[in-house]
Amino acid sequence: MTAHPAGPLSGDVRVPGDKSISHRAIMLSALAVGQTRIAGLLEGEDVMRTAAAMRALGARLTRDAPGQWRVDGVGVGGLAEPDDVLDMGNSGTAARLLTGLLATHPVFAVVTGDASLRRRPMARATEPLAQTGARFAMREGGRLPLAIAGTGEALPLDHRMTVASAQVKSAILLAGLNARGTTRVEEPVPTRDHTENMLRHFGAELTITRTDDGRVIALAGQPELRAADIAVPGDPSSAAFPLVAALLAPGSRLTVRGVGLNPLRTGLFDVLRSMGARLSVENSRCEGGEPVGDVTAEAGTLTPADTAAGIVPSMIDEFPILAVACAVASGTSRLRGLGELRVKESDRLAGTAALLTANGVACQIEGDDLVVHGAGGAPPGGGEVASHMDHRLAMSALVLGSVCRAPVLVDDTAFIETSFPGFVPLMASLGCRFT
């Protein structure tokens, strides 16, 4: 697909439901007693893989209309052994969270994924989960496929996080649901807390204590989760693409409605404001335990960014699109502590640098930092970008092409559907030109 230089962008739109919350909504609904109604569920491929897995494990899921689902749960401890391999496609979130669920159920299961997911590390989750009594076998380097022999006599975990990963933290908490006693997770660097919010929403007994070393999350095991309806907010990681495009295309102004504004997810918005971005929020409210609002972006001049490593967990998925904003800013930006991007859907750090370099933007990787020398306006463009089966690289490259002086070609955009179904027509409705 080719992105052509666009004029001013405008519109008033919604983006698909939050992917992180959608995964968790399906999983916890499946463990609740009774029927949960979910509104605004993201129906991208990643979340549909989670839905298929929970069906295979005994829950009943019914789609009533686009984004409107009913889930009849089996209760904590009630998951059944699947008849076949559980294929999680491209979703690391689904694979790691599901591993936590299965670890403390007395079932045998095999989890796999596509070529990209099979390259991503799983040991960071399975090593602590093995302390519950579950057994794991996987390929060299801790890669999928993963065979899981869960335990029916699970021990609670007391784990201090060594990597800032909401997926690993969530896997441990989900395992703790079917363990006797209290599971504790010590988190030196706070990561997105959707799992904690949703566990409370379904009636779990969970406390968070703040300490000098971070925070400690304690979950009482073997609760009876109760069905509780959920409204999934718009995904801030998806909203980032049209909002940044509007910030960069002169004369643009657009609003994205109903965006999730959890403070552990909005690091990108904070960084953009520090660069001088004209971002405003109206109609702030709380839905299903999550803060939500309408976000408006207006084009203007951006100054360089200098991000601290500590902000990485709150915007782990947004660095490629931030790098695009830095490419248009006036001056040199330094994005620090991005080592975790090397083990996303692709080596996202190298991929981001490559997409900029291919389009005439000077940049370099220094250790775990990305340094971007902004053009102070529209970059040259005219390059071809390899997406490496990474939806966020593909979308970032298309946004870059919309604000460059020459078109940008992206080799493969099929994987955009995993997180943002309808991305191309939505961006076209705002004024982007993709062919």
Q: How far is CA 335 from CA 311, 339, 366, 370, in A?
A: 10, 11, 10, 5
DSSP string, 196-232: HHHHHHTT--EEEEEETTEEEEEEESS---B---EEP
- Both 372 and 427 in one domain: the answer is yes
Is residue 75 situated within a structural domain?
A: yes
- Both 112 and 163 in one domain: the answer is yes
What is the DSSP pairing of strand 332-335 with strand 306-307? parallel
Residue 348 and residue 339: Cα distance in Å, rounded?
A: 9
Helix axes 319-328, 391-403, angle to 10 degrees: 20
411 token code pair: 């080799």
Q: Residue type for 269, please?
A: F
Q: How far is CA 330 from CA 22, 315, 364, 376, 379, in A?
A: 38, 22, 17, 4, 11
- Both 169 and 313 in one domain: the answer is no
- Both 323 and 363 in one domain: the answer is yes
- Both 308 and 195 in one domain: the answer is no
3-state SS class at 291: strand
- Both 273 and 148 in one domain: the answer is no
Say if residues 360 and 327 touch (Cβ distance below 8 Å). Answer: no
- Both 238 and 158 in one domain: the answer is no
Q: Which of 87, 193, 235, 317 is catalytic?
A: 317
**pLDDT in 10s for each residue of the chain, 435 residues:** 999 999 999 999 999 999 999 999 999 999 999 999 999 999 999 999 999 999 999 999 999 999 999 999 999 999 999 999 999 999 999 999 999 999 999 999 999 999 989 998 899 999 999 999 999 999 999 999 999 999 999 999 999 999 889 999 999 999 999 999 999 999 999 999 999 999 999 999 999 999 998 999 999 999 999 999 999 999 999 999 999 999 999 999 999 999 999 999 999 999 999 999 999 999 999 876 789 999 999 999 999 999 999 999 889 999 999 999 999 999 999 999 999 999 887 899 999 999 999 999 999 999 999 999 999 999 999 999 999 989 999 999 999 999 999 999 999 999 998 889 999 999 999 999 999
* Peptide bond between residue 145 and the one before it cis (omega within 30 degrees of 0): yes
Report the pLDDT value the prediction gives residue 151, as an integer from 0 to 100.
97
- Both 365 and 415 in one domain: the answer is yes
Q: Which CATH number is 138's domain given?
A: 3.65.10.10
Q: Of all helices (H) and strands (E), which one includes residue 96?
A: helix 92-103
Range of the domain at 94: 19-214
List CB contacts of 247: < 8 A, sequence separation 6 or more.
272, 277, 278, 279, 297, 298, 299, 300, 302, 325
Is residue 106 situated within a structural domain?
A: yes
- Both 11 and 36 in one domain: the answer is no
Is residue 73 situated within a structural domain?
A: yes
Q: Residue type for 91, please?
A: S
Query: Where does residue 62 rank: exposed (0-12), middle (13-18), buried (19+ CB within 10 A)?
Result: exposed
Residue 132 and residue 69: Cα distance in Å, rounded?
A: 32
Q: Which residues of 211-232 are buried (b: 16+ CB within 10 A; e: fewer)?
A: eeebbbbbbbbebebebbebbb
- Both 362 and 411 in one domain: the answer is yes
What is the chain's length? 435
DSSP string, 121-136: --HHHHHHHGGGT-EE
Say if residues 323 and 354 touch (Cβ distance below 8 Å). Answer: no
Is residue 226 situated within a structural domain?
A: no
Q: How many CB atoms lie within 10 A of CB 158?
A: 16
Please count the structural domains in the chain: 2
> Does 270 participate in catalysis according to the annotation?
no
Report the pLDDT value the prediction gives residue 288, as an integer from 0 to 100.
67
Is residue 131 situated within a structural domain?
A: yes
- Both 7 and 32 in one domain: the answer is no
Q: Please provide residue 127's backbone torsions phi and psi, each rounded to the nearest 5 degrees.
A: -60, -50
